[in-house]
Structures are given as structure tokens and as C-alpha cells.
């Protein structure tokens, strides 16, 4: 076996359940863990580009008006919360997320719905990570994030240990995919007895390491999900840690780009590179390179976010004196934010706004009369669908 140490591993057998098998070690089982190594020369150029783009973005945003900056921060934080949850298969109501974040930041929330408790918890964690990025990271802070994520002490119907490290009383911590009885084991985390010391080591490193801040964000993300210290929520907390580390790198609580949104766009490859790295050696150059490339893509995507914010603000500036009801405002915000992906028809308007078909028909007719919507060319009767008249400017900001 080329001198490679083998270790006992839990895997799933469709007949007999989880069984111990002999397999090559995970990264946390290797001698020297967690002393990661990497070749800085392999990603020196893309890292330099990322630093230039980050600085240019922050400078460009500083030149914009206060309202545009605030609305951009709001849109980016909404992306962070919703897309990080989507990676785990959780779909949060974007308008509730927007409402919760706006309220916490002291922004106007007129026309936005009240946020449910599960939304509030995720928002509180993300805002603590990004708005208090300079505060020390310790176990109690992580426990507070975990408690916010699971306010009922349950993950769906399963009771979990909240605001404390996992204890593996129900068996080893496994990362699985698929449905029983054919679930696949992608990863087995360190034994729960090792978690307290492992997390103490990680937290000390996080506060004391003198690394390039982007490299530190990449290493922290991998290290945390490899320890997998909680019963559930490890991925979301790892991405909040990434945002905290990047906020420290940027030196500002204002978020103008979303790493979680970019990871969501490449979710399959995200899981694949994590699994490959956790089954590889202590040289994590490939993971850091991948992380930097995706951070670059997140920065590239920031331009479209700013453009959308500007168009949204221009729309409401143009219609600030138009009387609209809360249903109409809700639908228009969905259209402006790109949350409504299908054709806008009467029945869909009624479903989204929670009103009757008759009220939906009146609302839509009113919006057409006020020059906000128009019937799509070539549609009529029950097949009519509506388009938003935005008057978008072709101008854009670049950095």
C-alpha cells in the first residue's frame, strides 16, 4: 500500500447499514494534521488580481451616493443569507430576509413582510459576522450563531445539540447524499471527543495567524468544515466565517460582493473540491486556488448587483409619488430584484400576493393604467402576461 496508513471508516451498506471498512485516511487522520501546506506561487497571480479588484470595488462604491451604497449592501447581504441556505437545500423567503436585514440596519422596510423566526436566526448570524467583523471569534460566539440557526433545538423534525459541540451519541458525524437505503458517504468527521481541542486550536489560529487575509479565509473555511464541530449547520457557519474573514480583509462592514452566491452557482463543484481535498494530503494548494478563482467571480458579479440596485432606485425615484397598495409594492420589488422567474399573469400575481383573482386583476389593471406594467405584445385574454416598464439605463459602473 505504498506505506500509506489505513484507518477504520464507517460506510453505508444498503443491507447491513453502516459498517466499518478499511480505507485511506481522511485529511484529519494524517500525521501532522492540521499543519496545512501550499505553494503560494501557484496562485500568486490570481491572488494579486483579487486584491486589486477588491480595492477597486471598495473605491468605486465609496464614490457612489449613500443610498446606493446602502441598498447595495442590503442586496448583497440578502444574497449571502439566501444563497448560503440554498446550498444546504433550504429556501428562505427573500422578501422576509430583506425585511429582517433592513430592520436590523435601520433601513426603511415599508411594504416588506414580517420575518419568520427561522429567517431571523440566519440573518442575526450573518449580521453578527459581517457587522462585528473586528470582534474576537471564540467558542461562545460560534455557539450563539448555532443557537440562532436552530431556535427550536431541532433541525427539521430531528432534535439536535444546540450551542455546544456535537457528541456523536447517535453515531459518527457523516456527510451523506442520496436517499436510504442507497445513501453515499462522502466524508466522516473527526471523533466528537477530539472536537473541543480541535476547535480551540482553530480559534487560536483564526485570531493569531499572520497570513494573507484571502488565503486565511480559504484555509479557515476548509479547516472548519473538516472539523464539522456541530450537529448541523456547519456549512452555513463556515460561510459566515468566510464572510467575517473577508470583511476583516476589506476593513469594512459594508459588503459589496457575495461569496455564498458564487458558491451556490457552482454548488456541485464546491462539494466535489471539498470532498477531494478532505480525502487528499495536507497540501491544499488546489483548494486555495479554487477558492480564489471563485472569489474573483464573486467580485465580477458585484457589478451586476450594483447595476440592479441603481435601476431599482431609479424606478422607485421615478414612481415615488404614485399611490400603490402593499400587494403591488411586493410584486414590483420581486420583479425588480429578479425573484419572479416566470411570466406575470393574473393567477400568479394572486398566488404570490395572497389575494383573490378579482383583486389581482384590478391591481394589474391599475399598474397598467399608471404606466408601470404593460401587456406583453401578442397576448390577450386569459393568456395575457405583463412586463415591467423600467426605462433601464444602459450605463454601468466599472472597476
Tallying the residues shown for the chain, one arrives at 399
Please indicate if the annotation marks 238 as binding a ligand: yes
Q: Is the peptide bond before 34 cis (omega within 30 degrees of 0)?
A: yes
Q: Is 236 flagged in the annotation as binding?
A: yes
187 labeled part of a ligand binding site: no
Q: Quickly count: other Cβ atoms within 10 Å of residue 63's Cβ.
A: 9
The three-class DSSP label of residue 338 is coil
Whole-angstrom CA distances from 293 to 45, 136, 178, 266, 385 are 11, 28, 29, 12, 40
Strand, coil or helix: 153: coil
CB proximity list for 70: less than 8 A, separation 6 or greater:
105, 107
17 assigned ligand-binding residue: no
- Residue 239 among known ligand-binding residues: yes
154 is in an annotated binding site: no
Bridge partners of 177? 184
Torsion angle of the four alpha carbons 294, 298, 304, 309, in this order, in degrees rounded to the nearest 10: 160
Catalytic status, residue 201: no
Per annotation, catalytic residue among 228, 319, 320, 369: 228
Helices (H), 159-284: 195-208, 213-227, 234-250, 259-265, 267-278
Cα-flanking dihedrals φ and ψ of residue 377, to 5°?
-55, 135
- All residues at 6 or more sequence positions from 157 whose CB lies less than 8 Å from its CB, including other chains: none
Residue 232 assigned to a binding site: yes
Is 26 annotated to bind a ligand? Reply is: no
Flag whether 365 is marked binding: no
Q: Is 235 labelled as part of a ligand binding site?
A: yes
Based on its alpha-carbon atoms, the radius of gyration of the chain, rounded to whole angstroms, reads: 24
Cell of 244: 467575517
Beta bridge partners of 184: 177
**3-state DSSP call for residue 254?**
coil
Binding-site residue ranges for ATP:
232-239, 270-271
Active site residues: 228
Binding-site residue ranges:
232-239, 270-271
Amino acid at each position: 500500500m505504498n506505506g500509506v496508513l489505513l484507518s477504520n471508516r464507517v460506510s453505508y451498506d444498503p443491507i447491513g447499514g453502516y459498517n466499518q471498512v478499511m480505507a485511506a485516511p481522511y485529511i484529519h487522520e494524517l500525521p501532522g494534521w492540521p499543519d496545512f501546506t501550499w505553494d503560494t506561487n501557484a496562485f500568486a497571480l490570481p491572488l494579486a488580481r483579487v486584491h486589486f479588484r477588491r480595492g477597486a470595488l471598495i473605491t468605486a462604491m465609496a464614490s457612489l451616493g449613500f443610498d446606493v451604497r446602502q441598498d447595495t449592501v442590503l442586496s448583497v447581504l440578502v444574497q449571502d443569507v439566501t444563497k448560503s441556505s440554498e446550498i444546504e437545500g433550504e429556501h428562505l423567503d427573500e422578501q422576509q430576509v430583506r425585511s429582517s436585514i433592513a430592520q436590523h440596519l435601520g433601513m426603511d422596510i415599508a411594504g416588506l413582510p414580517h420575518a419568520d423566526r427561522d429567517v431571523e436566526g440566519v440573518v442575526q448570524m450573518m449580521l453578527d459576522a459581517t457587522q462585528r467583523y473586528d470582534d474576537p471569534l471564540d467558542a461562545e460566539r460560534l455557539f450563539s450563531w448555532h443557537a440562532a440557526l436552530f431556535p427550536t433545538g431541532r433541525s427539521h423534525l430531528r432534535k439536535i445539540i444546540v450551542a455546544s459541540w456535537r457528541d456523536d451519541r447517535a453515531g459518527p458525524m457523516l456527510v451523506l447524499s442520496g436517499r436510504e437505503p442507497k445513501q453515499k458517504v462522502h466524508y466522516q468527521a473527526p471523533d466528537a471527543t477530539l472536537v473541543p481541542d480541535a476547535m480551540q486550536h482553530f480559534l487560536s489560529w483564526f485570531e493569531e495567524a499572520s497570513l494573507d487575509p484571502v488565503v486565511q479565509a480559504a484555509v479557515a473555511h476548509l479547516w472548519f468544515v473538516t472539523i464539522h464541530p456541530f450537529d448541523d449547520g456547519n456549512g452555513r457557519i463556515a460561510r459566515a466565517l468566510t464572510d467575517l474573514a473577508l470583511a476583516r480583509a476589506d476593513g469594512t462592514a459594508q459588503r459589496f460582493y457575495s461569496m455564498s452566491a458564487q458558491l451556490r452557482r457552482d454548488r456541485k463543484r464546491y462539494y466535489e473540491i471539498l470532498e477531494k481535498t478532505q480525502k487528499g494530503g495536507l497540501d491544499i494548494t488546489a483548494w486555495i486556488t479554487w477558492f480564489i478563482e471563485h472569489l474573483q467571480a464573486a467580485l465580477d458579479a458585484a457589478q451586476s448587483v450594483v447595476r440592479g440596485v441603481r435601476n431599482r432606485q431609479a424606478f422607485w425615484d421615478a414612481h415615488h409619488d404614485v399611490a400603490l397598495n402593499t400587494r403591488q409594492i411586493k410584486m414590483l420589488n420581486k420583479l425588480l430584484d429578479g425573484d419572479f422567474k416566470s411570466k406575470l399573469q393574473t393567477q400568479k400575481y394572486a398566488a404570490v400576493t395572497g389575494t383573490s383573482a378579482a383583486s389581482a386583476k384590478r391591481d394589474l389593471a391599475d399598474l397598467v393604467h399608471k404606466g408601470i406594467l404593460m401587456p406583453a405584445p401578442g397576448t390577450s385574454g386569459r393568456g395575457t402576461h405583463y412586463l415591467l416598464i423600467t426605462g433601464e439605463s444602459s450605463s454601468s459602473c466599472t472597476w
